[in-house]
Structure 1
Amino acid sequence: MTKCEYRDSLIMDPAPIALFCFNRPAHLRRVLEALRANALASASTLYVFCDGPRRAEDEALVSEVRQVAHAAAGFARVEVRCSAVNLGLAGSIISGVTEVVARHGRIIVLEDDLVTSPFFLTYMNEALREYEPVDAVASIHGYLYPISRPLPETFFLRGADCWGWATWARAWSQFEADGSKLLRRLDESGEGKAFDYGGTYPYRRMLEDQIAGRNDSWAIRWHASVFLNHGLTLYPGRSLVLNIGNDATGTHSRRTRSFDGGLSSSPIRVEPVPVTACLEAEQAFSDFFRGQRGGLLKRLARHVLGRWGS
């Protein structure tokens, strides 16, 4: 296949996008506006999953979110799914992703506070196409922490991530919803320290909290599921996602700019790289986590593992 034929095939058959939202209409408008600016948006099917209100006070904003979702334009097709009850972020994402991958075999996943670069969909679709036949690759990620050192154009890390990501049905089938099973497997593996990036990030504690009911994070279970199956996630060397939800509007979020690295002003080249964890990037992530002190690290954990439903 020539480069032009490859590009044409992406335009003809891009992966569907699933966008999960709850009660932040202004955020959703910004996310949709940025997503529409992507070259592949007009060829993409967009699913918008709108969660139901938790309490009576949510109803007005939830209704406004649904109006914004139904008015979404600039995509090949828009399908809006509105839940009559509040599923929470975990329930909404698990059921929504399962539905879409069963129908299409692959998916790109966003939440209502993730603003994307105009190059996001191209990167995601190129990477999905490049690594679809590689069983060791479980997902593609679009966000990168504001790391001070330069990293490769793309690289792999073990496990999964949650701020603008994509996967295939073959990888999502490995998702284990039972946190207790995951924790037992983690303890039996003896890789608890590696799971926590050398002790610099509290992933294990987040999994324990999920089991105890102190959070309902889908993301920690997705990360653990992929990690324990020795799966890899492809990251960009420059971020294609900006989280605008760190503004105290989410259920568990507080205002912070610690994770804002801006959006890449140039495309990410998706070319074959060694399908193994990048030690340079692992060290850079560990150094970033180590640099977050005290309460900031706790807020980082909350932001990474889900806001309005955790």
Structure 2
Amino acid sequence: MSSLAPVLITVYDRLDCLQNAIASLKTNNECNKTDLYIVSDYAYQEEHKKIISQIREYIKNIKGFQKVEGIFWDHNKGSFNSAQDAMKYLFSKYDKVIFFEDDILVSNRFLEYMNNALEFYKDDQRIISIASHRHHKIKIPKEYPYDVFLLKIYSPWGSAIWKDRYESIDWELKDVDSFLKDKEQIKAFNNISTHMLPILLDMLNKKKKYGDAIICYNMLKSKRYTLFPIEPLSVNRGHDGRGEHCVEDIELQNQVLAMDFYPSLTKNLPYDTTIGKMHHKVFYSFRRDFLEPFLKKIYLYRPLRFLKKQIEKIIFPRKKFWKSY
């Protein structure tokens, strides 16, 4: 078995994205010493069967790695269960895993960084995962002295995690009801990033599971961090309107990879509050986080929303407005 972490990639019906992801991964010198696993979920619609068959045939013919194994489900599991069952399979064989979805591109030093960081920080229990992406709106201060930083949030756009950290996650959110009644805990969650609570509530209301929301919730409860590089060693190309959870975003879609960049790793890395606040600001929404709560507090939210719908019906009589929440 390779001493390097295996790589797991998830895919559904985007053959072109997967091909681009594999091409980017092959720019890494460590490929021929790396085990590659690709999990392919089964079709949930009849018209998807053809492309999924083509994707699986492509996976069977991938070369350039120490080992390539396709994990092909014979029924549709959905994105969360497909990925989680594949992770469980890998953790029955390995004690660490590098993971990303098919719409991610990685730099030529991605594997070097991920593997070295997994080894370097394996005994630092403050750190739950290693991330390779850095949001383009986070501007690292010039006086910041390190090549890596900590955030109290998980990033799935290129991630690495140890078996012990993964198995410590409460995927069932057993105490979430008491959490939602605790104003101090809610405030602490919102202080990290205001977009995570709405995602968590949406997940609970729809009785679905979103891996990043569950991990972020667990990070808050266990007071853990994710390690990030100051330059992006992976970028997301799923903001073209085809991704399951990604809206169209030109800036993110065109974010440039930091090729040839390798971050120096630092022991006992301190949490930087300036970068933490910057991350919070990136995901802050005036409408969602201030205006709507304020209108609800003074009992004007529903009347104004009703009035807005009536005006829309008058101005756009032929357009059907769907209830969004």
SS at match of 1:277: coil
Distance between the aligned counterparts of 1:28 and 1:133, measured in 2?
Answer: 33
Distance between the aligned counterparts of 1:159 and 1:190, measured in 2?
Answer: 18
**Alignment of 1:17 onto 2:7:** yes
SS at match of 1:216: coil
CA contact (8 A) 2:179 2:186 kept: no
CA contact (8 A) 1:93 1:218 kept: no
Counterpart of 2:204 (choices 201, 211, 231) is 211
Q: 1:226 Cα shift?
A: 2.3
Q: Cα deviations across residues 211-247 of structure 1 (Å, max 9, x unaligned)?
A: 1116531221122112211111100001111111111
Quick one: which amino acid aligns to residue 273 of structure 2? L
More off after superposition, 237-246 vs 150-159: 150-159
Q: Which residue of 2 aligns with 1:102?
A: 92
Aligned length: 282
Counterpart of 1:233 (choices 226, 248, 268) is 226
Q: Which residue of 1 aligns with 2:102?
A: 112
Counterpart of 2:239 (choices 225, 238, 246) is 246
Q: 1:179 Cα shift?
A: 3.7
CA contact (8 A) 1:154 1:236 kept: yes
**Alignment of 1:86 onto 2:87:** no
CA contact (8 A) 2:138 2:279 kept: no
More off after superposition, 24-33 vs 92-101: 92-101
TM-score w.r.t. the length of structure 1 is: 0.84
SS at match of 1:196: helix
Q: Which residue of 2 aligns with 1:302?
A: none
Q: Cα deviations across residues 93-131 of structure 1 (Å, max 9, x unaligned)?
A: 111112212310100001110010111111100100000
SS at match of 1:190: helix
CA contact (8 A) 2:30 2:111 kept: yes
Q: Which residue of 1 aligns with 2:150?
A: 156
**Alignment of 1:174 onto 2:168:** yes
TM-score w.r.t. the length of structure 2 is: 0.80
Query: Structure 2 regions of 5+ residues with no counterpart?
Result: 289-325
CA contact (8 A) 1:232 1:276 kept: no
Q: Which residue of 1 aligns with 2:111?
A: 121
SS at match of 1:258: helix
CA contact (8 A) 1:28 1:68 kept: no
Q: 1:82 Cα shift?
A: 0.1
SS at match of 1:31: helix
SS at match of 1:33: helix
Percent identity, please: 20
Q: Which residue of 2 aligns with 1:220?
A: 213
